[in-house]
Amino acid sequence: MTSFGKPYIHAGLGKWCNEAGLPECSSHGLKKAAATICANMGATDRRLMALFDWQSEKQANVHTLKANKTKLAADCARLLGQFFWRCSGHSENRVIGFTGAHPTPRGLTEN
């Protein structure tokens, strides 16, 4: 809220980006980035709707579905790592995890 008790407007955020020397930023881009970060950290659709003042779940779903899909993929990759570890003759119950943003064979590490 502004010092006048009013919510900030998109044009004001864009002005701040320009003043900060970040002309490539936009209020839309900042809002999208914030929603993505919140969803990746576990925010629900309802929480995103409250924070960003969205009236329907449609916009919130864009962010939470992508975050959930990423988490599910990482979980499946970990399970595959465990499977291949056990199939290669190891009897220990180790968890193989992926490092980095993309689960590639080069990024395999033992946890």
Question: Could you tell me which residue, 106 or 49, shows the higher pLDDT?
Answer: 49
Residues 25-49: pLDDT tens digits? 877 888 888 899 999 888 999 999 9
Residue 46: which of 32, 61, 27 has the closest Cα?
A: 61
DSSP codes of every residue in 17-55: HHHTT-TT--HHHHHHHHHHHHHHTT--HHHHHHHHT-S
Residue 21 pLDDT > 80, yes or no? yes
pTM of the model: 0.54
Residues contacting 10, CB < 8 A, separation 6+: 27, 28
